[in-house]
């Protein structure tokens, strides 16, 4: 579980990345856990397919 500050920092980082890099983050964490959830949401919001 991430605290609010950490989740906000990760969302900000993901917003600065190119689509390919957001997908790479998702794949690196195996699409699981809180970072995977945030990356999946970013991918959905930006309409990024794997």
Helix ranges, 1-50 (H): 4-16, 19-28, 33-45
Spatial distance between the Cα atoms of 21 and 14, rounded to a whole number of angstroms: 8
Mutual orientation of helices 19-28 and 33-45 as an angle, nearest 10°?
150
Alpha carbons 24 and 18: distance in angstroms, whole number: 10
Q: Which residues of 17-33 are buried (b: 16+ CB within 10 A; e: fewer)?
A: eeeeebbebbeebeeee
What is the pTM for the complete model shown?
A: 0.91
Task: Summarize pLDDT for 4-33 with one digit per residue, the tens.
Answer: 999 999 999 999 999 999 999 999 999 999
pLDDT in tens, 30-50: 999 999 999 999 999 999 998
Residue 1 has a pLDDT of 86
């Amino acid at each position: 579980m991430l605290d609010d500050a950490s989740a906000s920092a990760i969302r900000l980082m993901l917003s600065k990345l190119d689509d390919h890099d957001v997908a790479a983050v998702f794949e690196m964490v195996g699409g699981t856990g809180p970072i995977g959830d945030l990356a999946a949401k970013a991918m959905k919001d930006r309409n990024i397919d794997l």
